[in-house]
């Protein structure tokens, strides 16, 4: 287990060593270099994990004050970062807490919290579990596999498919006594759509694909998802048989439908139908959340950032969309040219925004050149997701280079950080895990790039 006070000390010492200065300025980030992004990612992850420790409730690992799902989405983010960076110092705590929070029945519905949870809360833990499966995150011996936890979430949620109105859909809240029990929202339905699509691809079990299709079609029959303009409304209600709409625009709503469609494109072996949907959603996402007034290459939570009213949930959304855009670029290669510059743009901006106080605190307005004063777990997590999304597409580019140069060996990989082919690249600590995997892939002659970054069973 780990000890917060010692870890703060070592973080501080590390920061001192790295910068030579007690007060940090910008994090230097080269968005074309995995090494640079790895260092930046750790600079951002360290304070994130300190917030995580400080905000634990009643000593229960993974239960934070005033929220339950945020820890799950933080673990999802760490696992994705671990995969592309090889940095594993928080793996033990994430592994332990991700399993503990699965609860008594291993379904992320512990009786400690179940009486006040919404479908979207449980869904985020399910996405963390499928992320663990896809990345090959170490399993916990003697416990259910990550995949079986993700499946348990799916099984419970499809059991809650609501026929009282609107011909289906998932409600936001689970219990009649909660406000939101008659509301159907994009994150609950888009989240289950994404989880279904990822389970379909990972397990190759058609049941999940059928549900992904069904949730998409149902969503498109309501204002939640417009299948012509790809406008995603935030919510609609049973009372009006899902004809009304709450129209706030949120990055993560678009992200769930976008990523789910990308997984279905891959699962269906490049069905044109899903390509059309991916392209439509991607264009809508870019038009809304990469405003030209900020240069067009940095993501903004436009509904709350300009007026600084983002609540703790909203502070975290941009990180998810960053990683889900990266998955889209990997699974639907024709979108990579559009997505990659945006993810690099995010990193470039984070370099300046993550300059708060002495501990690389990140604010919420990625587009702003100096720290905006917001601090906490959620903004660190979002920034780590932003950096990770960039790393995912870079790693994918590297794998492609290998794929198209079958004769290359690990020391002669043309990387995207400007190394010339044939030049020996010194292997950095951060590269080792990656290099090792590359070698194994080369020896085994395993084709394909997606296989390593987003595994199937």
Ligand X SMILES: *[C@@H]1O[C@H](CO)[C@@H](O)[C@H](O)[C@H]1NC(C)=O
Q: Torsion-angle region of residue 27: left (phi > 0), alpha (psi -120 to 50) or beta?
A: beta
Q: How far apart are CA 254 and CA 233, in angstroms?
A: 9
Indicate which single residue of 38, 46, 63, 352 sits in contact with ligand X (rule: CB under 6 A): 63
> Residue 289: which of 262, 337, 313, 325 has the closest Cα?
325
Examine residue 155 and tell whether it contacts ligand X (CB under 6 A).
yes
Work out how close the CB of 284 gets to ligand X at its nearest, in angstroms, rounded to a whole number.
15
Which segment (26-34, 57-65, 136-144, 303-311) binds ligand X by CB under 6 A? 57-65
Within 225-254, which residues bind ligand X (CB under 6 A)? Answer: 227
Q: How many residues bind ligand X (CB under 6 A)?
A: 22
Which segment (27-35, 62-70, 384-392, 419-427) binds ligand X by CB under 6 A? 62-70
Chain center to CA of 4: 25
* Helices (H) then strands (E): counts for the chain: 15, 4
Work out how close the CB of 436 gets to ligand X at its nearest, in angstroms, rounded to a whole number.
32
Q: How far apart are the first and last CA of the chain?
A: 30
Examine residue 423 and tell whether it contacts ligand X (CB under 6 A).
no
Indicate which single residue of 66, 159, 406, 426 sits in contact with ligand X (rule: CB under 6 A): 66
From residue 376 to residue 415, the character string flagging contacts with ligand X as x (rule: CB under 6 A) and all else as - is xx--------------------------------------
Which segment (19-27, 61-69, 293-301, 438-446) binds ligand X by CB under 6 A? 61-69
Work out how close the CB of 110 gets to ligand X at its nearest, in angstroms, rounded to a whole number.
4
CB atoms within 10 A of CB 399: 22
Work out how close the CB of 80 gets to ligand X at its nearest, in angstroms, rounded to a whole number.
22
Secondary structure (3-state) at 183: strand
Examine residue 357 and tell whether it contacts ligand X (CB under 6 A).
no
Q: Which is nearer to ligand X, 55 or 238 (by Cβ)?
A: 55
Residue-wise over 7-32: b if at least 16 C-beta within 10 A, else e?
Answer: bbeebeeebeeebeeeebebbebbbb
Please report, for residues 124, 181, 188, the alpha-carbon distance to residue 236 in angstroms, rounded to integers and kept in the order given.
21, 12, 12
Q: Which is nearer to ligand X, 9 or 440 (by Cβ)?
A: 9
Q: How far apart are CA 316 and CA 87, in angstroms?
A: 22
Q: How far apart are CA 204 and CA 199, in angstroms?
A: 8
321: which residues sit within 8 A by CB, 6+ positions away? 251, 252, 254, 255, 258, 285, 289, 299
Which segment (89-97, 214-222, 338-346, 440-448) binds ligand X by CB under 6 A? 214-222
Q: How far apart are CA 286 and CA 118, in angstroms?
A: 29
Answer yes or no: are the C-beta atoms of 330 and 450 closer than 8 Å. Answer: yes
Q: Which is nearer to ligand X, 360 or 396 (by Cβ)?
A: 360
Within 34-53, which residues bind ligand X (CB under 6 A)? Answer: 51
Q: Which is nearer to ligand X, 100 or 450 (by Cβ)?
A: 100
Indicate which single residue of 18, 96, 178, 221 sits in contact with ligand X (rule: CB under 6 A): 221
Q: How far apart are CA 423 and CA 186, in angstroms?
A: 49
From residue 74 to residue 113, the character string flagging contacts with ligand X as x (rule: CB under 6 A) and all else as - is --------------------------xx-x------x-x-
Work out how close the CB of 188 gets to ligand X at its nearest, in angstroms, rounded to a whole number.
18
Indicate which single residue of 8, 19, 55, 297 sits in contact with ligand X (rule: CB under 6 A): 55
Which segment (63-71, 244-252, 301-309, 359-367) binds ligand X by CB under 6 A? 63-71
Indicate which single residue of 95, 151, 201, 395 sits in contact with ligand X (rule: CB under 6 A): 151
Q: How far apart are CA 76 and CA 381, in angstroms?
A: 10
294: which residues sit within 8 A by CB, 6+ positions away? 300, 367
Examine residue 217 and tell whether it contacts ligand X (CB under 6 A).
yes
Using CB under 6 A, list all residues that contact ligand X.
51, 54-55, 60, 63, 65-66, 100-101, 103, 110, 112, 151, 155, 205, 207, 217, 220-221, 227, 376-377
């Amino acid at each position: 287990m780990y000890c917060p006070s010692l870890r703060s000390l070592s973080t501080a010492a590390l920061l001192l060593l790295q910068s030579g200065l007690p007060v940090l300025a910008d994090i230097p980030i080269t968005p074309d270099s995995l090494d640079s992004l790895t260092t930046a990612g750790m600079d951002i992850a360290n304070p994130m994990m300190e917030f995580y420790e400080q905000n634990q409730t009643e000593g229960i690992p993974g239960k934070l004050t005033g929220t339950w799902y945020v820890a799950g989405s933080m673990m999802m983010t760490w696992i994705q970062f671990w995969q592309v960076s090889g940095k594993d110092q928080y793996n033990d705590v994430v592994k332990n807490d991700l399993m503990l929070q699965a609860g008594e029945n291993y379904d992320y519905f512990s009786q400690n919290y179940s009486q006040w949870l919404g479908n979207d809360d449980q869904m985020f833990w399910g996405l963390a579990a499928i992320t663990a499966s896809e990345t090959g995150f170490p399993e916990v011996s003697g416990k259910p596999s990550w995949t079986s936890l993700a499946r348990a979430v799916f099984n419970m949620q499809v059991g809650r498919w609501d026929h009282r109105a609107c011909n289906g859909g998932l409600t936001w809240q689970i219990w009649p006594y909660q406000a939101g029990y008659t509301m159907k929202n994009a994150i609950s339905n888009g989240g289950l759509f994404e989880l279904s699509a990822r389970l379909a691809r990972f397990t190759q079990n058609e049941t999940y694909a059928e549900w992904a299709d069904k949730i998409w079609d149902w969503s498109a029959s309501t204002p939640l998802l417009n299948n012509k303009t790809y406008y995603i409304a935030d919510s609609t209600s049973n009372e009006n048989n899902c004809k009304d709409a709450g129209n706030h625009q949120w990055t993560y709503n678009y992200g769930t439908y976008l990523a789910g469609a990308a997984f279905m494109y891959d699962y269906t072996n490049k069905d044109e139908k899903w390509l059309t949907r991916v392209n439509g959603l991607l264009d809508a996402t870019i038009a809304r959340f990469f405003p030209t007034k900020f240069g067009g290459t940095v993501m903004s939570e436009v509904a709350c950032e300009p007026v600084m009213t983002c609540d703790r949930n909203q502070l975290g959304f941009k990180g998810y969309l960053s990683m889900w855009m990266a998955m889209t670029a990997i699974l639907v290669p024709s979108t990579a040219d559009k997505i990659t510059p945006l993810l690099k743009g995010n990193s470039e901006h984070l370099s300046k925004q993550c300059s708060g106080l002495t501990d690389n605190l990140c604010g919420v307005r990625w587009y702003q050149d100096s720290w905006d004063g917001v601090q906490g777990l959620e903004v660190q997590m979002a920034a780590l997701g932003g950096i990770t999304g960039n790393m995912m597409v870079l790693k994918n580019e590297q794998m492609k280079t290998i794929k198209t140069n079958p004769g290359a060996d690990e020391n002669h990989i043309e990387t995207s950080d400007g190394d010339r082919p044939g030049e020996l690249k010194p292997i950095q600590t951060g590269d080792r895990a990656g290099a090792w995997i590359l070698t194994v892939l080369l020896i085994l002659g395993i084709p394909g790039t997606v296989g390593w970054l987003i595994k199937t069973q």
